[in-house]
Amino acid sequence: MIRMLLFFVFTLMPCLCAAQDIRVYFSPNGGCQQAVISEIRKAKQTIDIAMYYLSSRNIAQALVQASDNNVRVRIVLDQGQEIEPASKSGYLIKHGVKVCYHLGFGLMHNKFAIIDEKSLITGSFNWTLTAEERNEENLLIITDKETIEIYNGRFNYLWNTSRSDSRNARGLDAFPAWFCSTYHLFCSN
């Protein structure tokens, strides 16, 4: 009996505790978007995001609300999001959220967020309505501190090697002058 108890305490108990560190969601319509919004609403101090594609109005609104509540929100997006019509990057910038665009010639294909350095949102789930309603995607929410530290280091690297102005990786204006004078939303002064 004591052997069985010791076996449980030293072998199975750590597995049960670790299982509490990860929540799993799938789409379509599996609650991925609501899980992201729920985590954003829990934020008290910081939200750091590296996201390939962000076009969900509901998630963008939750991020603006967090920023309005004095949560520091920083987002690194793929540079294609700077001119993608469905992207919410312009909306976020207009509402005071700090958005940078990844430098380089490859895609910034990450999909993760760190909330208050306490929870990590990651997986294949793009923050889009299509991902929520049509695509087969996955989302994990992880609270393991060591894993979050690794992602935090990667976010800081991405943030420090990205740009916030309207210039592409070659240093050329990303938008012609007529576009900037018409659509001030994307162009820096």
Positions marked catalytic: 109, 111, 116
**Look-up of token digits 């509540």:** 69
CB distance 34 to 26 below 8 Å: no
CB distance 47 to 114 below 8 Å: yes
Q: What are phi and psi of 98, to 5 degrees?
A: -80, 115
CB distance 164 to 98 below 8 Å: yes
Buried b (16+ CB within 10 A) or exposed e, 156-185: eebbeebbeebbbeeeeebbeeeebeeeee
CB distance 148 to 119 below 8 Å: yes
CB distance 82 to 188 below 8 Å: no
